[in-house]
Amino acid sequence: MRSCHFTGRPGPATCPVCLVNCPTVSNGTLRWRCVGRPATLCCHRPPSNTGMEQPIKVLLIEDSATDARLLRIFLGESSTHCFDIVHVARLAEGMERIGKEHFDVILSDLLLPDSQGIETFERLHAHVEHVPIIVLSGSDDENLAVRAVREGAQDYLVKGRIDGHGLVRSITYAIERHRAEQRLQESERHYKFLLESITDYSYSVKIEDGKPGLISHGPGCVSITGYSAQEFEADPKLWFRMVHEADREAVQEQARRIQAGETPPPLEHRIVHKDGEARWVRHTVVACRNRDGNLSSFDGLIADITQRKKAEQDLVKSEAFYHSLVENLPQNILRKDLNERFTFANQRFCAMLGMPLEQIIGKTDFDFFPPELAEKYQRDDRYVIRTGQIFETIEENHAPTGEKLYVNVIKTPIYDAKGQIIGIQGIFWDITERKRFEERLQRANQELAASEAALRKSHEELKSAQLQLIQAEKMESIGTLAAGVAHEVKNPLAILMMGVNYLTKKLGGAEDGIQQVLKEMREAIDRADAITRGLLDFSASRQLAIKSESLNTLIDETLRLVRHELRTKQIVVQKNLGERLPGVGVDKRQIQQVLVNLIVNSIHAMPEGGTLMVRSYTKQLTETSHTEGSRRASHFWVGDMAVVIEVEDTGTGIPEENLAKIFDPFFTTKPTGVGTGLGLPVSKKIIELHGGSLDVRNVKGGGVRATILLRPQKA
Amino acid sequence: MAKKRVLLVDDEKSFTNLLKLNLEETGDYEVRVENWAEDAFQAARDFKPDIVLLDIIMPRMPGGNVAAQFKDDPDLKDTPIVFLTAAVRKHQIDENDGIICDHPCIAKPVPVETVIEFIEKHVRK
């Protein structure tokens, strides 16, 4: 279903003039029923090839219905354009329509019921700046129309002189012209905006009579130079003075070349800012020529490049700094690309290879080193390239003289701006001297450690000997004291003994009571004598009668000596004597005394009976024992062979607090008269005189074990 | 049978008194006591003992010196001497077959029977 372009209603076209009549067919041609003209427009017109599919939307403001109808007819007849006409009779109505819909062009009479004369145009123009306006006027007020055109109307048409073709052309031109104007305005605004937003300082110099004349300064001049346009205008020489003294000649040269018709490249020079500080600027000058090719003016653009210049200078300084570093370091420095070709070598490395840098760049290790070395170097490089890791090593090389040289090598990857590895950088330096010092230091250190160990050992021995000496001193003085005491006690005992002897004889037949008293006195004397004897045993310095003895025989004999005691106390003896014990050089009587002492102690510890274990065996020592109390060191060292005798009981054990005191003379826990407190001290002394050791300790689960270590006789 | 003459040299007065009493109680011995070692030599010359019981540790002069004086004297050199001392222990004496410094020796304290045993064993016959 087609719709009518004039009315927008579906169905056949409506005549643009009468609005009601539809075209009729007569003589094979469609004609408007009202006017009889061929209906070439609208729905009846075949599709156009002009591409002008969209009708031109026209707002017609015209209070004369006749004029309006005429214009409709003219536009409707156009074979090139299609128009969609909205017709109103009053300005207010027109403005209202403008506010509601879009129009491509406005045709407006100036004499309207609600507005007359130029005011009609002005109001319209103020209301719709973006739509071209064509003014319609009568022949009597053409001047008014001309004025409207001057004020911005696209065209004016004089009623009565309008024809169809002229009207369409006027409308299409008005639209085109209006569009062009709009584009121009847009462009102007754009450039104006652009120019205003440039912070650079632009200026323009007019050439008058071949000489520079009027100068205009852009708004950027304040920020770049510190001076305002007014200041430049007030002092014509200010501009040139502003140029840094050293650069004035170059600036003058640039101006000269411009005036000579050349196009000089941008000049970088310094100016002195109003604040007194020198600034770097980039000064571009462009010449403008008139149609004759003569210079009419030139424009300058001055940009502050102080920051950039400073960055450049910093870069140069930094370059110089690193260059100096690289060339003055005592290290060899080199760079290679991914193909193992040298891209850099510092002077030291060049000197090492004995050729200038140009002959090194582009070459590989194979050009300078033996193949196996070159292969190794490249292997290291490839490791760095593959892993991105730093490679550090100390290479051992041999000098032609045969001595070992040490070289410390560090290789690191080189990256490009994208973070891709593009090669490696190597730094190496000779550390032979340092290495030699290290080796010497290490040797010295080892020697020092060895002598320190020896020192420590001898210190320990000394300490042990000192402890023994102190203890021996102590024992010696106790011994002297004991001997004195014993002697002084024995004499009164001798007197008592004589007295008791005498009384016994004299009172031989006396009553039992007296006999009992004398007997007890006699026993008391014996006891006191035993104590003093023990004391003397302990304190005496003795001569040993050393003979090679079988310890097992000795043990058996000792057990026989005490078998009566063992039997009465119901003590079971477990013997475990090692076979083929080596002979031991001992004073048999003394060792027997020691064994008796130890066994008696065990018996006393088992008043309710128990088991006495006696063992003998040989063993290689795994720990050393330093024992105190003898001048004759009883040192056993780890690895020494020893013959061991153990006497162990299942008795009461030694209270922890007493363990440290058991070798002190006179220390005893036995009832008075049972022990003298000298058994263990004497035993220990005897064993130590034999160069052995005696150790007494509690056994887990109760009981005590005494361990005697003796040296086997040397075969 | 004449009593055997015993010279007892010891600085312990009580001991000498009691030993003298015990020995004389037996009726076999005539005992002279000398408590000062320096006087022992002169006492021996006067008393002419058949045996001397000599202490070793005495003030001013040890028994050994007294024995040496006797040895150097032609009249006294054969007089038997038995040391009777608290300074030596029995087992030491036993180990040396009863002889200490060329003379038999008795360790104090000692029952009188032992003293008599020694006197009888070593007395000049």
**Tens digit of each residue's pLDDT (9 = 90 or more) over A158-200:** 888 888 888 888 998 998 888 888 888 888 888 877 776 677 8
Please say if the pLDDT value at position A16 is more than 70. no
A487 → closest Cβ in B21, B87, B111: B87
The model's confidence at residue A271, banded by pLDDT at 50, 70 and 90, is: very high
Please report the sign of the dihedral spanned by the C-alpha atoms of residue A464, residue A469, residue A474, residue A475.
Answer: positive
Give the C-alpha separation, B68 to B76, whole Å: 10
Of the candidates A246, A430, A462, the one whose C-alpha atom is nearest the C-alpha of residue A349 is A430
Please report residues of A whose CB lies closer than 8 A to that of B21.
498, 502
pLDDT single digits (tens) A78-122: 878 888 899 999 999 999 998 888 899 999 998 889 988 888 888
pLDDT single digits (tens) A210-225: 777 778 888 788 888 8
In chain A, % of residues over pLDDT 70: 84
From residue A530, alpha-carbon distances to A473, A527, A562, A655 in Å are 25, 5, 18, 27
Report residue A34 as tokens: 């009202």
Can you give the pLDDT at residue A469?
Answer: 66
Output DSSP code: residue A79: S
Q: Which residues of A touch B (CB under 8 A)?
A: 483, 486-491, 493-499, 501-502, 505-506, 525, 529, 533, 536-537
Of the listed ranges A19-23, A463-467, A492-496, B2-6, the least confidently predicted one is A19-23
Mean of all residue pLDDT scores within chain A? 82
Please say if the pLDDT value at position A203 is more than 90. no
Which is more confidently placed, A458 or A10?
A458
Nearest residue in B to A504, CA atom = B22
Please give the helix or strand (H or E) that residue A613 lies within, else none: strand A610-620
Please report residues of B whose CB lies closer than 8 A to that of A504.
none
Can you give the pLDDT at residue B54?
Answer: 93
Phi and psi at residue A15, to the nearest 5°? -60, 130
Asked if B87 is an interface residue toward chain A (Cβ–Cβ < 8 A), one would say yes
Q: Does domain B4-122 have CATH number 3.40.50.620?
A: no
User: What b/e sequence results for A13-36 when a residue is b if at least 16 CB atoms lie within 10 Å of its CB, and e otherwise?
Assistant: bbbbbeeeebbeeeeeebbbebee
Annotated domain spans of chain B: 4-122
Give the C-alpha separation, A572 to A610, whole Å: 6
Cβ <8 Å between A491 and B15: yes
B21 → closest Cβ in A483, A497, A502: A502
What is the pLDDT averaged over residues A588-605?
89
Ordered DSSP codes for A384-410: HHHH---EEEEEEEE-TTS-EEEEEEE
Please report the sign of the dihedral spanned by the C-alpha atoms of residue B66, residue B71, residue B74, residue B80.
Answer: positive
Can you give the pLDDT at residue A713?
Answer: 79
- Reduced to 3 states (helix: H, G, I; strand: E, B; else coil), residue A161 is coil
Which is more confidently placed, A609 or A466?
A609
Output DSSP code: residue A644: E
Please say if the pLDDT value at position A253 is more than 50. yes
In A291-430, alpha helices (H):
306-328, 347-353, 357-360, 371-387
Can you give the pLDDT at residue A383?
Answer: 93
Please say if the pLDDT value at position A457 is more than 60. yes
Please say if the pLDDT value at position A615 is more than 90. yes
B111 → closest Cβ in A488, A497, A537: A497
pLDDT single digits (tens) A469-500: 666 666 666 667 777 777 788 888 999 999 99
Can you give the pLDDT at residue B34?
Answer: 94
Please report residues of A whose CB lies closer than 8 A to that of B110.
494, 497
From residue A245, alpha-carbon distances to A233, A268, A270, A349 in Å are 21, 14, 9, 46
The model's confidence at residue A531, banded by pLDDT at 50, 70 and 90, is: confident
Q: Give the sheet arrangement for strand A704-710, strand by strand.
A: A571-577, A610-620, A641-649, A704-710, A693-698
What is the pLDDT averaged over residues A11-31?
58
Of the listed ranges A169-173, A285-289, B107-111, the least confidently predicted one is A285-289
Q: Are A333 and A427 within 8 A, CB to CB?
A: yes
Task: Look up residue A640 and give its amino acid.
Answer: D
Cβ <8 Å between A493 and B12: no
Which is more confidently placed, A56 or A3?
A56
CATH number for the region A47-193 comes to: 3.40.50.2300
Q: Are B9 and B66 within 8 A, CB to CB?
A: yes
Can you give the pLDDT at residue B99?
Answer: 78
Please report residues of A whose CB lies closer than 8 A to that of B15.
491, 494-495, 498
Mean of all residue pLDDT scores within chain B? 89
Of the candidates A654, A659, A629, A646, the one whose C-alpha atom is nearest the C-alpha of residue A595 is A646
Cβ-Cβ contacts under 8 Å for A686 (sequence gap 6 or more) = A587, A590, A591, A593, A594
Task: Look up residue A443 and give its amino acid.
Answer: R
CATH number for the region A544-710 comes to: 3.30.565.10
Q: Does domain A198-311 have CATH number 3.40.50.300?
A: no
Give the C-alpha separation, A350 to A582, whole Å: 79
What is the pLDDT averaged over residues A255-273?
88
Cβ <8 Å between A496 and B109: yes
Report residue A671 as tokens: 């009832």
Most confident of A564-573, A663-672, B47-56: B47-56
Q: How far is A661 from chain B (nearest CA, A)?
A: 27
Q: How many helices (DSSP H) and strands (DSSP E) are in chain B? A: 5, 6
Q: Are A129 and A107 within 8 A, CB to CB?
A: no
B86 → closest Cβ in A487, A498, A525: A487
Cβ <8 Å between A495 and B12: yes
Give the C-alpha separation, A489 to B87, whole Å: 10
Nearest residue in B to A500, CA atom = B111
- Reduced to 3 states (helix: H, G, I; strand: E, B; else coil), residue A684 is helix
- Reduced to 3 states (helix: H, G, I; strand: E, B; else coil), residue A135 is strand
Of the candidates A8, A15, A18, the one whose C-alpha atom is nearest the C-alpha of residue A30 is A15
Please say if the pLDDT value at position A275 is more than 80. yes
Mutation target among B11, B12, B15 for the A interface, most CBs of A within 10 A: B15
Q: How far is B50 from chain A (nearest CA, A)?
A: 22
Assigned superfamily of A329-430: PAS domain (3.30.450.20)
Cβ <8 Å between B86 and A495: no
The model's confidence at residue B49, banded by pLDDT at 50, 70 and 90, is: very high
The model's confidence at residue A528, banded by pLDDT at 50, 70 and 90, is: confident
The model's confidence at residue A1, banded by pLDDT at 50, 70 and 90, is: very low
Compute how many other C-beta atoms are within 10 angstroms of the C-beta atom of residue A337.
15
Please report residues of B whose CB lies closer than 8 A to that of A487.
57, 86-87
Which is more confidently placed, B100 or A276?
A276
Rounded to 5°, angle at Cα A702 from A628 and A692: 25
A525 → closest Cβ in B57, B107, B109: B109
Query: Residue holding tokens 């014990």?
Result: A581
Phi and psi at residue A398, to the nearest 5°? -115, 130
The model's confidence at residue A31, banded by pLDDT at 50, 70 and 90, is: low
Cβ <8 Å between B89 and A537: yes
Can you give the pLDDT at residue B40?
Answer: 93
Compute how many other C-beta atoms are within 10 angstroms of the C-beta atom of residue A215.
16
Q: How many helices (DSSP H) and strands (DSSP E) are in chain A? A: 19, 24
Give the C-alpha separation, A164 to A71, whole Å: 8
Q: How far is B45 from chain A (nearest CA, A)?
A: 27
Nearest residue in A to B24, CA atom = A502
Q: How far is A633 from chain B (nearest CA, A)?
A: 26
ipTM above 0.90, yes or no: no
Nearest residue in A to B13, CA atom = A495
Strand-pairing partners, residue B107, are B85
Annotated domain spans of chain A: 47-193, 198-311, 329-430, 544-710
Do strands A56-61 and A105-109 pair parallel, antiparallel, or not at all (unpaired)?
Answer: parallel
pLDDT single digits (tens) A236-251: 888 888 999 999 999 9
Asked if B19 is an interface residue toward chain A (Cβ–Cβ < 8 A), one would say yes
Q: How far is B73 from chain A (nearest CA, A)?
A: 30
Q: At what angle do helices B112-122 and B13-26 cross, to 10 degrees?
A: 70
The residue count of chain A comes to 715
Task: Look up residue A639 and give its amino acid.
Answer: G
Cβ <8 Å between B89 and A536: yes
Fold match flag (A198-311 vs A329-430): yes
Q: Are A615 and A576 within 8 A, CB to CB?
A: yes
Please give the helix or strand (H or E) that residue A458 lies within, else none: helix A432-506
Of the listed ranges A96-100, A269-273, A658-662, the least confidently predicted one is A658-662
Of the candidates A533, A620, A585, the one whose C-alpha atom is nearest the C-alpha of residue A712 is A585
Can you give the pLDDT at residue A42?
Answer: 42
Report residue A246 as tokens: 């050293």
Cβ-Cβ contacts under 8 Å for A154 (sequence gap 6 or more) = A105, A132, A133, A134, A173, A174, A177, A178
* Interface contacts (A, B; CB < 8 Å): 60
Of the candidates B85, B84, B9, B1, the one whose C-alpha atom is nearest the C-alpha of residue B47 is B9
Of the candidates A301, A487, A419, the one whose C-alpha atom is nearest the C-alpha of residue B62 is A487
- Reduced to 3 states (helix: H, G, I; strand: E, B; else coil), residue A640 is coil
Please say if the pLDDT value at position A18 is more than 60. no
What is the pLDDT averaged over residues B22-39?
93
The model's confidence at residue A556, banded by pLDDT at 50, 70 and 90, is: very high
What is the pLDDT averaged over residues A289-295?
79
In A226-370, alpha helices (H):
229-234, 238-242, 248-259, 306-328, 347-353, 357-360
